[in-house]
Amino acid sequence: EAGVAQSPRYKIIEKRQSVAFWCNPISGHATLYWYQQILGQGPKLLIQFQNNGVVDDSQLPKDRFSAERLKGVDSTLKIQPAKLEDSAVYLCASSLDGASGYNEQFFGPGTRLTVL
C-alpha cells in the first residue's frame, strides 16, 4: 500500500515570496491533515479536511496561508507571502476516517521550508 506522498521535499525561498506544497493521501482515506513542525517542537495542526470540507482551520494564519482539497483527494497548502517564521517542516497526514479520532494518522515525509 502506497503511503502519503508529499512534494517538494525541500524548498528555499526569500521572504515575501509565495510557495505551494502538495499532498496525496493514502487511497480511500477520508481525512487529511496539514501540520507545521518547527525545529525542536511537536507538530501543530494547521488545517483538517474531512473529504473536501474543512473541519478545523482555527490555527491557520489565514492572512497568508490557504489550503484546498479539491475532489476530496489531493491537497495543496499555499503560503503567500512567506515570513521568516514560516521556516519549518510541513507534514501531511491522512486517516481512514478521522471523525472519531480513533484511527491512526499516517504521515508523509514532509516538506522542509527555509525562508531567507
108 touching other proteins, by CB under 8 A = yes
As a whole number of angstroms, the distance between CA 68 and CA 73 comes to: 10
28 touching other proteins, by CB under 8 A = no
27 touching other proteins, by CB under 8 A = no
Which one among 5, 30, 89, 96 touches other proteins, defined by CB under 8 A?
89
39 touching other proteins, by CB under 8 A = no
65 touching other proteins, by CB under 8 A = no
80 touching other proteins, by CB under 8 A = no
As a whole number of angstroms, the distance between CA 72 and CA 64 comes to: 23
101 touching other proteins, by CB under 8 A = yes
As a whole number of angstroms, the distance between CA 27 and CA 4 comes to: 9
As a whole number of angstroms, the distance between CA 47 and CA 32 comes to: 8
Q: Which residue number, 80 or 114, has a Cβ lying nearer to other proteins? A: 114
Query: Cell numbers 503560503 label which residue?
Result: 79
Which one among 42, 63, 70, 71 touches other proteins, defined by CB under 8 A?
42
As a whole number of angstroms, the distance between CA 93 and CA 110 comes to: 9
